[in-house]
Structure formats: C-alpha cells, structure tokens
Amino acid sequence: MPSLSRIAAVVLSLVVGAAVSSPRAASDSTDGWGYGYDSLLRDLREWKNHRDVRLDSIGATLQGRAIWMVTISDSTDSLGAVPLREGPKKRVVFHARTHPAEVQSQRIANEAIRFLLDSGELAGRLRREFLFHVVPMYNPDGVEMGLSRWNANGIDLESNWNKPALQPETKALKARFEQMMAGTIPVEVALNLHSDRLNCTRFFFMHDVGGTSSAFVELEKKFIAGVQAHARQGWFEDWDFIQSWVEATGTQYPEGFWWINHREDVMAMTYEDANCTGADGFDTTARALVLGAADYAGAGSVGIDPRARPTDSDVVFERSGIRIAATGRTGAWEIRDATGRRILSGKAGLHGAFVPWSQVPATTGFVVVRGASSIRTVRLPPRW
C-alpha cells in the first residue's frame, strides 16, 4: 500500500503546478518538449508504488514546482517511511533535464529508474547493494515555459554553481549533495545528464588534467571504459572524444562543485546523449550508465567479471574486448596463441588500444605489451 503522505505530496504539487500563471517569456516549445511536468507526475505516481522507491522533493523552483528525486534501494519497510538500511551500500546519483530542450536526458533518467525497478535478479541485486538517486527533471519551470536552456529567471542552471547567490534550483540540488556527502554513505558516482547535437553521438565530457589531477583522469578513463563495456562497441564514444578543463577547473558547473570539494572521491561527469532525428536506445544507454556506475562504485560486483580484473592496469579484459593502456610513444601490443605464435599486433602509443574479442581468434594464449623499458605478458582469461 502506498504511503498517504507521498500521495499527498504529489497531489499538492499538482495543485501548485496548476496555480502557476502562464509564462510571459518567449517559448520555444508549447508541450514541454514532448515530456512536461504532468508527464513526470504521471510517471512518479507509477514508480512510487514500488516497495523500493522513496519519493521526495529536494526543494521548490522559482515558480513553486517541486523538484522531485526518486530514491531506489531496498528498504526496511514497504512504505519507505523509516530510514533506509544503512550498511555497506554504495551511493550513485543522476540528475537530468537541466536544459529543458534536452529531453533525451530525461528519457535516459526515466529508463534508468525503470531498469532499477525491474523484477529480475540483476535489478534486485542493484537495489540491495546501492542507493540510487535520480532527479529526472531538475528544471521543471524551464520545461513548462518551453525554454530551451534556462530557468524562470533566464539563468542557465548548468553554469551558475560558482555564483554568490544561487538560483533556487541549484541551491536545492547543492544542498542535497552536501547532505549526502555528510552522511555515512557518500556519493561515489554523480552523473549530470544532457544531450547534444554534436554528430548524433553519445559521449562524456572528460575533464582534463589541467583542471583535475592525473589520478582523476585515470579514474575517468576507467569509468568510461566500464560504461562502454555494457553496450556494443561504438555505442559510446571513447574517453578522448571531448576533453574539457584543459587549462583550469570549470568552477561554474556541478562537476566543479564536486571536484573542488571531493576531488577523486566522486566520479562526477556530464554525459551527453545524442540529440538528433532518430535518437533512440534510451534503455540501452540507461542500462550501461547504471551498470557502469555500479561497477565503478561497487568494484566489479555487478557487471564486469571479477576474474577479468587484472592486478596491473596495463591490460584490462572487458566484456567486449581487451583494453591496453597507453604505453608511451613506442609502445606496442601483440596477441600470441598458446604456442607463442604472434596472431595479432598493433601500437598502443599515447592513447592505448582496444581489441574487440571478435578480432581475437585464439581462445588460449597471451597478450604481450611492450613499453619503452618493459615487457609484460598477461594470460588471456577464460571467455564469458
């Protein structure tokens, strides 16, 4: 039976939403870009019936709309009325729809919620091991006003995190992040979902060493490779597709907040989905983002076969292939069969290499990586 207080919260926000006067600003969309606040409330009403969902508002927008957060985790009672069991759980947070026109970002947030609420074994395990928080519509005023990038004040909520006076939406999200970090289960992965018209591609805004640290850059590469491992080759662009913060930290962004305050402890990145005619596969993308985040935070307990995690990071066996780390300008790799015969080879160089399993004919053998001053041999793992 659903909690009455939660029903009241949804009903209240419906009333609040209806009381808002018509926006006077010029609109680019009259239907919430195909998924408005009413659509969200409809979906929230469905999701909150799941026993492992807790629904709450992190705060109100300028025009008084609730900014909803869906928390998914198994709880000590079916109403979620008592605090969720604290334990060895890991915390992951996604927020979407900062830019109202980027409706694809919300489609992914919604699919992530649906994937986590699935009745299967995998979703059940994720709910036991993790606390997932999803803010599927961070800028509902902008959505309802038909604005493409702004809130009701005409401010871009993506890039006002370093202002002395924050917008109410940013203030609410930041306060919630701070509250989570002060608790016993800190956030380990924080994804900021967007969509972009760049060549109909799916990619992450990788933060360069100029604005972060070399240790964080390695973590970013690991995280992106982990997400890629849960979709077919080429579904997501590689880590080096877009690099930002080449010269300095972007303090105006949510990721700037995470980096300044929590450094390597939080994998905070912006993900850009394809924003183009025919963009689809939101369920595939959401699944990969959730599983990639879970793998990253949970040290391989969910997706990537733990047997495949080498102790040394220069050769990583992933679901879809073999990832070979950068080895310096002269680096190279070879794959040899069990008799030592070379069957494949290539350069690893400054960016490393990726060899899909489909190109590896041998079922037993070795990967040999030659760096400037070292040679390393790693046995091929059993296939899965």
Interaction of residue 99 with Zn ion, rule CB under 5 A = yes
Pick the closer one to Zn ion by CB: 236 or 354. Answer: 236
Pick the closer one to Zn ion by CB: 153 or 159. Answer: 159
Contact range with Zn ion by CB under 5 A, out of 56-64, 100-108, 132-140, 199-207: 100-108
Tell the smallest beta-carbon distance from residue 112 to Zn ion (Å): 17
Cα separation, 183 vs 249, in Å, equals: 26
Contact range with Zn ion by CB under 5 A, out of 93-101, 203-211, 280-288, 291-299: 93-101
Pick the closer one to Zn ion by CB: 194 or 323. Answer: 194
Site string for Zn ion, 173-212 (x = CB under 5 A): ---------------------x------------------
Per-residue burial over 32-70, b if 16 or more Cβ lie within 10 Å, else e, is bbebbbebbbebbbebbebebbbbbebbbbebebbbbbb
Pick the closer one to Zn ion by CB: 101 or 297. Answer: 101
Tell the smallest beta-carbon distance from residue 267 to Zn ion (Å): 19
Pick the closer one to Zn ion by CB: 254 or 298. Answer: 254
Contacts of 118 (CB under 8 A, 6+ apart): none
318 close to 229: Cβ distance less than 8 angstroms? yes
Tell the smallest beta-carbon distance from residue 38 to Zn ion (Å): 22
User: Would you state the torsion angle of the CA atoms of residues 97, 289, 160, 38, taken in this order, to the nearest 10 degrees?
Assistant: 20
Cα separation, 373 vs 11, in Å, equals: 67
Kind and range of the H or E run holding 318: none
Tell the smallest beta-carbon distance from residue 98 to Zn ion (Å): 6
Q: How many residues bind Zn ion (CB under 5 A)?
A: 3
Site string for Zn ion, 287-316 (x = CB under 5 A): ------------------------------
Per-residue burial over 71-82, b if 16 or more Cβ lie within 10 Å, else e, is bbbbbeeeebee
Q: What's the chain's Rg over C-alpha atoms?
A: 22
Write down how long the chain is: 384
Pick the closer one to Zn ion by CB: 138 or 317. Answer: 138
* 290: nearest Cα among 123, 147, 148: 123
- Which residues of this protein are in contact with Zn ion, per CB under 5 A? 99, 102, 194
